[in-house]
Amino acid sequence: MLVLVTYGSKMGGTEGIARMIGDTLAAEGIDVEVIPADERPDVSHFDAVVVGGGLYADRWQKEARKFIKKNFKELSRKPVWFFSSGPLDDSAEQEEIPETEPVHKLMEMVGARGHETFGGALPADADWFPASAMAKENSGDWRDEDHIRDWARKLAVELRS
């Protein structure tokens, strides 16, 4: 089984999560490729897909949304899971955070089997609006490697079943 992990990431935080997921799946014996959504990976080559996006005002980063919309027919015929990165605090580690309404609509479009929200990351030197304004008070890294890898291991179990 070959799994695609693809993502839209503006500042690199979501990319880091995607790479942790890919590394964990590989360690669990799953063949995996991690490819940015803006490189337009060919979904037809994969048996399952994990798609992630950084959340900005409750919506996924643009390239992740475009990837879903462009590939929704092919994705709807495969096992698909979503993840979001975004809360700039530890809330994603304190409780399960459901997908936002716009992400839920994308999930329905492709019949995604599940979703997980992970803490995000925002560097202090973010230079685009509104991140630059947010970074003044809220810069930091809230990605929890244990949470990410635990979710990826659960995914590996589902992929093997």
Residue range 115-160, pLDDT digits in tens: 999 976 655 454 444 544 444 456 566 578 899 999 999 999 999 9
Residue 71, phi then psi, degrees to nearest 5: -110, 15
pTM: 0.85
Strand pairing class (121-122; 48-56): unpaired
Q: From its phi and psi, is residue 62 left (phi > 0), alpha (psi between -120 and 50) or beta? A: alpha
Q: Which amino acid is at 69?
A: K
**SS3 at position 13:** helix
Look up residue 4 and give its two tokens: 């695609």
Domain housing 58 = 2-160
CA–CA dist 139, 141 (Å, integer): 7
CB of 18 within 8 A of CB of 62? no
Residue spans of beta strands (DSSP E) within the chain: 2-8, 31-36, 48-56, 59-60, 80-85, 114-118, 121-122, 140-141
pLDDT in tens, 86-120: 755 565 566 676 788 999 999 999 999 999 999 76
CATH number of the domain enclosing 150? 3.40.50.360
Residues 136 and 125: their CA atoms lie apart, in Å, by 9
Please give the tally of structural domains in the chain.
Answer: 1
Q: Which residues pair with 121 in a beta bridge?
A: 141
**What per-residue confidence (pLDDT) applies to 54?**
85
Closest CA relative to residue 82, chosen from 52, 106, 103: 52
